[in-house]
């Protein structure tokens, strides 16, 4: 996919929630500053990657977010949405009763103006950020890839100092290899960076599409995958590539992935679907219903 506070609140939590309402205030910046960001339930929480509904959001952001909440989603990852100031993003989410727990971002803005971009995403309420792939000038060869790893490691260290976390989102091509190195590109990246500075936002469908077992890969990087993308895809057949589909309608072993994710310490299982049959709301609903029945 494409990448992309204030304190001094004197009311008690009980008073605030009873006077202003649970959904609106539990995600309000004032309470967030006093109480900390929302935490997933024990064993991990579920969220929707808003990139899934990017097309309807271009026409009606408020209506799209409202429909997402009506389907049942409470938590989201901000990506593919209209370009807005942080305060406007937060207002739109609060109005819909949604909480952003992560975002897809390019790292270049952080490299140019770190403090401004940290404040932007903290205003939105986000702790976890991830680029949607390696930077364009760091893909050509192994040397370039290692330069990219160095940049990501350095940014991850700075973000950690600011109370945020950096992850890397993969596609299938990160499971290819450079001619002079027997390791997957993603493994090279993770081995060249410190675990405390860079996590893997594993995309299950793209790993599966590359011939990699998502559950085994999660266990391999236990403790280093706080946020992952749960995405389903049909198996390749008769020379044709698999097709992205609603959760539970493809070839992935979700029982095994959920179990491995919990063993690996996944905090957020974020559903994403780049495209599919029907409208985005059709597969967003179908996948939410699947998770309600099968996410244990």
Q: Do the domain assignments include residue 4?
A: no
Task: Judge whether 1 lies within some domain.
Answer: no
Model pLDDT for residues 28-83, shown as the tens digit of each residue: 333 333 333 445 566 689 999 999 999 999 999 999 999 999 999 999 999 999 99
Q: Is residue 3 assigned to a domain?
A: no
- Residues 132, 199, 178, CA angle at the centre, nearest 5°? 65
Which tokens sit at 260?
């491995």
Domain with 220, as residue range(s), is 21-294
133: in domain: yes
Map tokens 């009311």 to a residue. Answer: 11
The count of domains in the chain is 1
What's the CATH code of the domain at 241? 3.20.20.150
- Look at residue 12 and tell me if it is in a domain: no
**Residue range 165-223, pLDDT digits in tens:** 999 999 999 999 999 999 999 999 999 999 999 999 999 999 999 999 999 999 999 99
Tell whether 240 is covered by a domain.
yes
Residue 270 pLDDT level (bands cut at 50, 70, 90): very high
**How would DSSP label each residue in 166-196?**
EEEE--GGGGS--TT--S-HHHHHHHSS-TT
């Amino acid at each position: 996919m494409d990448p992309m506070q204030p304190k001094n609140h004197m009311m008690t939590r009980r008073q605030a929630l009873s006077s202003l309402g649970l959904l609106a205030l539990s995600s309000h910046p004032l309470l967030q500053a006093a109480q900390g960001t929302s935490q997933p339930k024990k064993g991990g929480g579920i969220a929707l990657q808003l990139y899934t509904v990017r097309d309807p959001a271009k026409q009606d952001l408020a209506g799209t977010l409202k429909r997402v909440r009506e389907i049942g989603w409470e938590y989201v990852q901000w990506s593919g949405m209209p370009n807005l100031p942080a305060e406007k993003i937060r207002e739109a989410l609060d109005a819909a009763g949604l909480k952003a727990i992560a975002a897809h971002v390019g790292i270049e803005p952080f490299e140019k103006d770190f403090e401004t971009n940290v404040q932007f995403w903290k205003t939105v309420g986000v702790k976890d950020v991830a680029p949607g792939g390696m930077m364009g000038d760091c893909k050509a060869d192994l040397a370039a890839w290692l330069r990219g790893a160095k940049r990501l490691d350095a940014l991850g260290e700075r973000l950690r100092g600011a109370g945020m976390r950096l992850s890397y989102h993969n596609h299938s091509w990160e499971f290819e290899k450079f001619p002079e190195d027997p390791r997957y590109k993603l493994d090279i990246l993770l081995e060249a960076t410190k675990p405390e500075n860079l996590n893997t936002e594993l995309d299950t469908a793209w790993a599966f599409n590359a011939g990699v077992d998502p559950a085994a890969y999660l266990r391999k990087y236990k403790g280093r995958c706080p946020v992952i993308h749960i995405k389903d895809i049909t198996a390749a057949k008769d020379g044709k590539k698999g097709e992205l589909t609603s959760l539970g309608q493809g070839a992935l072993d979700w029982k095994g992935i959920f179990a491995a994710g919990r063993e690996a310490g996944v905090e957020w299982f974020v559903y994403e679907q780049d495209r599919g049959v029907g409208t985005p709301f059709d597969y967003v609903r179908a996948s939410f219903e699947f998770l309600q029945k099968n996410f244990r």
